Amino acid sequence: MDLESAIRAHALSLGFDACRFTAAEAAPELALRLRAWLDMGAHGDMAWMAETADRRAAPKALWPEARSVVMLGVNYGPASDPLAALATPGAGAISVYARHRDYHDVIKGRLKQLAAFMLKRGGGGDVKVFVDTAPVMEKPLAQSAGLGWQGKHTNLVSRDFGSWLFLGAIFTTLDLAPDAPEPDHCGSCRACLDACPTQAFLGPYRLDARRCVSYLTIEHKGPIPRAFRSAIGARIYGCDDCLAVCPWNKFAQTAREAKLAARPELESPPLGDLARLDEAGFRAFFSGSPIKRIGRGRFLRNVLIAMGNSGDPALAAPAERLLDDPDPLIRGAAVWALARLAPERLLALQERAGSEPEPTVRDEWAKETQLPEKAASP
């Protein structure tokens, strides 16, 4: 058995669902597209993308000795409708990838095992493993290796697994025969572009992260811009809309990895229960989950936006309680939520704005308590 076949067979035995190879060469057109995207500010608060742009665009810029890249995929296909939570009254919608154990923990150990096997089987050399933890553009590399192609929503699409593949990479000094790249199979379809709730796509293959629900609910650290709050709906961590509507999902399979099976309590979690989580409760409930990384403040900000969009007056009481939260990010979102669930109650409490120390929260109070007056104006 040749080295490439041996590596592929061992990868599958470790639990990877796909393994292919590409050369560690730069793609000049990719660097140009990345620079244009950064220059227009479409990366938002993600300053690290600009800071690492030179290394991100070329594997050899990150590690000059690299000759080949092994791209690995792990299927995390959901067992049920990924968008069902959006139609569940009083529930929050969590992206499929975050409903189970943190995929970094699942994949990284296997990457190290495969890397060790490669060195032993290849008779030496060197390796570096990556799983979303370094300036590596996994999706273009995965397309170059033939795992799939970047669809019009900029995410990877696989003919075997649809939209649901976690990616990992092994850079190596070994000289591995590259696989053929996967051509684009999107055709004239634009289902993913039309499905976006915040119209984050500037066109096919062009995403403005500043409008993307996943960016707004995960990466963005401040108050969510008012222009997008209603469109976010019940999405409290990430968004699967553009992934879920892809026609190639007809070939998707349910994840075979038990650690990637959804936790039942995260499939349609009640917003009222989530709003009651204190710091200790948040950390305990999301132990081992990627959600834990954004912290309680950002997460409850998202929960409150969803509560405000729910139209459920029963959620007014938990929203009101959070007006006194120590975190100003939560207090500001609570003002917005209560204004939609019980506006008369918010008006009765508006004297609190006078003692609010945080300018962004005072701004929320000012905007929301003036809404009736503005509505009456011609």
Residues known to be catalytic: 132
Contact (Cβ atoms closer than 8 angstroms) between residue 164 and residue 252: yes
* 148: CB partners within 8 A, 6+ apart: 73, 142, 156, 157, 158, 159, 161, 165, 182
> Which tokens in the block code for residue 118?
């490669």
Contact (Cβ atoms closer than 8 angstroms) between residue 41 and residue 208: no
Contact (Cβ atoms closer than 8 angstroms) between residue 195 and residue 243: no
* 188: CB partners within 8 A, 6+ apart: none
Radius of gyration for the chain, computed over Cα atoms and rounded to the nearest angstrom: 23
Q: Is 69 exposed, middle or buried (CB count within 10 Å of its CB: 0-12, 13-18, 19+)?
A: buried
- CA dist 248 and 264 (Å) reads 26
Nearest to 330 by CA among 365, 305, 347: 305
- CA dist 230 and 106 (Å) reads 35
* 278: CB partners within 8 A, 6+ apart: 296
- CA dist 168 and 73 (Å) reads 6
Residue type (1 letter), 312:
D
* 19: CB partners within 8 A, 6+ apart: 7, 8, 11, 12, 70, 71, 72, 73
